[in-house]
Amino acid sequence: MNQADRYLDDQAEQERQQRAAAEQFQQPMGAYQQPVYQQPAYVLQRMASMGEAWSNFWSRWTFAGRASRSEFWLMWVWGLLIGIAFWTITGILTVSDLVTVSDLALVIIPLSGIFCLAVIIPSLCLQVRRLHDLGYSGWLWWLNFVPVGGLVLFIFFLLPSEPRPNRYGPVPFQVQQ
């Protein structure tokens, strides 16, 4: 079989496949056929709730994976609310003369120290997972010890999540389509 015969056979095979496809979709030959779209390179992401952020903070003591922007910032809101409540109670007890300042210091200082120690590792894990969500290495966390590094990390934490799975894992809080 020479090249011309092969070409004609290929043409005939392509026409046969087109006819079979047209019959399958019940469209006349040569009619516009809607292209088949592949899944987009990004996925939709929903916001984490306050409860999800709280439970993930205390249950995911791992540097692996990703933490969404909403999960990260909602945990900072939780920390702020706990701090406001803590210092409000301290202020009320101090002003009302229910306890002396020295007695209050004996309770408040150890309690605040215990709380700070309890959140160090989970917050470090959360920051590393947030960097992973942006597609950066968790080792960038060490920028905290560089004079302007904290500002750089703050700006990083404000950025939106990478909209597709990356090397650190799938998109957190992915919307099922």
Q: What is the pTM of this model?
A: 0.66
Please, what is the Cα angle at 48 between 169 and 115, to 5 degrees?
Answer: 95
Residue 5 in domain: no
Residue 25 in domain: no
pLDDT in tens, 64-96: 888 888 888 989 998 899 889 888 887 787 777
Residue 40 in domain: no
Residue 101 in domain: yes
Residue 64: which domain range?
Answer: 50-158
Residue 24 in domain: no
What is the count of structural domains for the chain? 1
pLDDT in tens, 25-54: 555 555 555 555 454 555 566 777 888 888
Residue 34 in domain: no
Residues 6+ apart with CB under 8 A from 1: 9
